[in-house]
Amino acid sequence: MEKLYQSSLALVLTMLVLASCHKLDVPVESALTPEVYPTTQAQFNSVMGPIYTRLRSDYAIGFFQVQSHSTDESVQPAYGGNWFDGGRFMQLHYHTWDKDNALLQGMWTYTSDLVGISNQILFILRTAPEGQPKRQSIAEMKAMRAFAYFLMLDMFGNVPIDTV
């Protein structure tokens, strides 16, 4: 009985596999190609979404800490051992930071990510159909890239400029 059940199951599975392998040249109707996406303002906004998501991630805290802790504007207190945090705030305050300071690494990563995402979006937008949404979107991305370079130049000095 077991052998008959296994044979029947194998036969049914073989029939299903063979029946499903026809019509392999089906036209794709939902592909997001440069001819069909982005074309509307909402689609252009969805393409530009990642840059604004990244912008809000670390600007308020990280930029404030790097800019203000390296001046007399603010000091991060270290109560006990919990707030010392490896001395990274003290390094900024005493101007003794090095390349391993986590705050500076975080801001370098943040700003270089903004530049990279802006360049990726500009690359996507270059093949979009001409019109007002494309011009506006390209202008926004160039402004975001310029803002990121402004932050980088302000914090790190002479940085490599990559404009695609």
Tens-digit pLDDT profile for residues 130-154: 999 999 999 999 999 999 999 999 9
At residue 152, the pLDDT reads 94
In the structure, what pLDDT confidence band is assigned to residue 115 with cuts at 50, 70 and 90?
A: very high
Q: How many CB atoms within 10 Å of residue 117?
A: 21
Radius of gyration of the chain (CA): 27
pLDDT tens, residue by residue, 48-87: 999 999 998 877 788 888 888 888 888 777 777 667 777 8
Average pLDDT in the 34-52 region? 88
Tell me the two tokens of residue 46: 């969805």
Q: Is 115 exposed, middle or buried (0-12, 13-18, 19+ CB in 10 A)?
A: buried
Architecture of domain 38-156: Alpha Horseshoe (1.25)
pLDDT at position 5 over 90: no
Cis peptide before 34 (omega within 30 of 0): no
Segments making up each domain of the chain, as ranges: 38-156
